[in-house]
């Protein structure tokens, strides 16, 4: 791909005017060095505020945007359409920032990675949590060794049911955030995982998931994600040999709880504080809107002509997250019914020397993650088309 001249404003478009698309439109309209030229949505703009407030046309087809001439486009249409739209952009040498997840299946994600890499185009994925200032600080401090050896990463991402999401479940919509940020802050990949899902909202897709897994260095991970809680929570805790970092990405706060160093001699207080106390520090740092930072990084990557080392989430990284999310769903589908543990009170006493049958393992299927095959399968002709974009 030919590098974009540093002095020329990049021409950018947007595909999809849903809730996230409108946020992207707001940023594109005021992004330095970028000319926002048009929006694509077959459903149009029901509120009519885009042409009036942002001064750009709303077009029915991706082809109409391509006629205007764009250097890159932000893809914020339903997940099932990411592959079709992304391949169309790549075929016309247009870079793309594709909302997470990259695609609806690992096979579709691989085809997208191949299409953009083959033509030397910059392709990124909108895992905006990476740009949250609390997680940026957390990663920097982990890289500096402030926590020592990392033992565990725990995330909780829960809140009320989102009516804006209809095409995927909570794994692809929300858990992909936690999968991506866990690999990113630790610098490690997932090696195995087990998962359970439930669906209580009456829709086709799951609305709650619990995941436990392991990373390449042995770090244990745990994710709890749901759309069923009146409490909105965005919690990430990383525990290591020197204490625990806690990031709240709703408030962009990062707190460090040091391991106990001072003995608590007041016996009554030990019941509340523990036998030893360590320092607790809440860090102060600049807090910019993550979506603005994401757009700035992608703009600069398009200007330089490369995504590697630019700070964006590359399409290949997005592919790995899609693979892990597919493994989560596979594990949940294959999970056998749990084996009752029984109660201690009802257990029969065992005579000395009597053998004891081993307890059957709990019926939780484990998905072992393996590298994807090199071959790129053909696109599924039954996949939905851009014309089927829901209103």
317-372 tens-digit pLDDT: 999 999 999 999 999 998 756 556 554 444 454 455 555 444 343 333 456 675 54
pLDDT at position 345: 47
CB-based contact 386:16 (threshold 8 Å): no
Alpha-carbon distance 88 to 99, whole Å?
Answer: 16
First to last CA, the chain: 35
pLDDT at position 366: 57
pLDDT tens digits along 176-186:
999 999 999 99
pLDDT at position 55: 86
Q: Which residue has the tokens 């006493």?
A: 349
- Classify residue 375 by burial, with Cβ atoms within 10 Å: 0-12, 13-18, 19+: exposed
Look at 115-129, 288-302, 346-360 and tell me which has the smallest mean pLDDT. Answer: 346-360
Any idea what the Cα angle at residue 218 is, between residues 212 and 220, rounded to 5°? 30
pLDDT at position 269: 72
> Rounded to 5 degrees, what are φ and ψ at 97?
-105, 105
Q: Which two three-digit tokens encode residue 361?
A: 């393992």
Give this prediction's pTM.
0.83
Residue 6: pLDDT band (50, 70, 90) is low
* Mean pLDDT of all residues in 92-112: 97
> Rounded to 5 degrees, what are φ and ψ at 192?
-155, 160
**Which of the two residues, 111 and 50, has the higher pLDDT score?**
111
**Which of the two residues, 5 and 313, has the higher pLDDT score?**
313
CB-side exposure of 355: number of CA atoms within 13 Å? 2
């Amino acid at each position: 791909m030919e590098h974009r001249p540093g002095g020329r404003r990049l021409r950018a478009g947007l595909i999809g005017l849903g809730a996230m698309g409108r946020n992207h439109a707001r940023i594109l309209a005021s992004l330095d060095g970028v000319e926002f030229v048009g929006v694509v949505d077959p459903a149009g703009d029901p509120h009519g505020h885009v042409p009036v407030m942002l001064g750009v046309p709303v077009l029915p087809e991706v082809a109409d945007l391509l006629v205007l001439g764009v250097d890159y486009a932000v893809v914020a249409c339903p997940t099932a359409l990411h592959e079709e739209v992304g391949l169309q952009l790549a075929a016309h040498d247009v870079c793309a920032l594709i909302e997470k997840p990259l695609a609806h299946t690992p096979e579709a994600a691989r085809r997208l990675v191949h299409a953009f890499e083959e033509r030397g185009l910059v392709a990124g994925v909108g895992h905006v949590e990476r740009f949250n200032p609390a997680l940026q600080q957390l990663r920097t401090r982990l890289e500096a060794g402030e926590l020592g050896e990392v033992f565990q990463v725990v995330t909780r991402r829960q809140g009320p049911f989102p009516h804006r999401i209809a095409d995927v479940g909570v794994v692809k919509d929300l858990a992909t955030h936690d999968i991506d940020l866990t690999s990113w802050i630790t610098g490690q990949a997932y090696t195995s995982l087990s998962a359970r899902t439930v669906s209580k909202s009456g829709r086709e897709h799951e609305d709650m998931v619990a995941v436990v897994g392991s990373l390449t260095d042995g770090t244990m991970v745990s994710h709890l994600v749901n759309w069923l809680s009146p409490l909105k929570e965005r919690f990430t805790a990383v525990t290591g040999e020197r204490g625990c970092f806690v990031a709240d990405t709703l408030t962009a706060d990062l707190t460090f709880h040091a391991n106990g160093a001072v003995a608590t001699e007041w016996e009554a207080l030990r019941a509340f504080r523990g036998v030893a106390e360590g320092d607790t520090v809440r860090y102060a740092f600049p807090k910019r809107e993550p979506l603005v930072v994401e757009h700035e990084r992608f703009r600069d990557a398009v200007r330089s002509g490369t995504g590697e080392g630019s700070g964006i989430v590359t399409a290949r990284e997005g592919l790995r997250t899609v693979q892990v999310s597919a493994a989560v769903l596979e594990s949940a589908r294959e999970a056998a019914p749990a084996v009752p543990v029984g109660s201690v009170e009802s257990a029969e006493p065992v005579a000395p020397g009597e053998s004891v049958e081993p307890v059957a393992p709990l019926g939780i299927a484990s998905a072992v993650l393996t590298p994807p095959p090199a071959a790129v399968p053909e696109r599924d002709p039954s996949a939905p088309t851009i014309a089927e974009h829901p209103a």
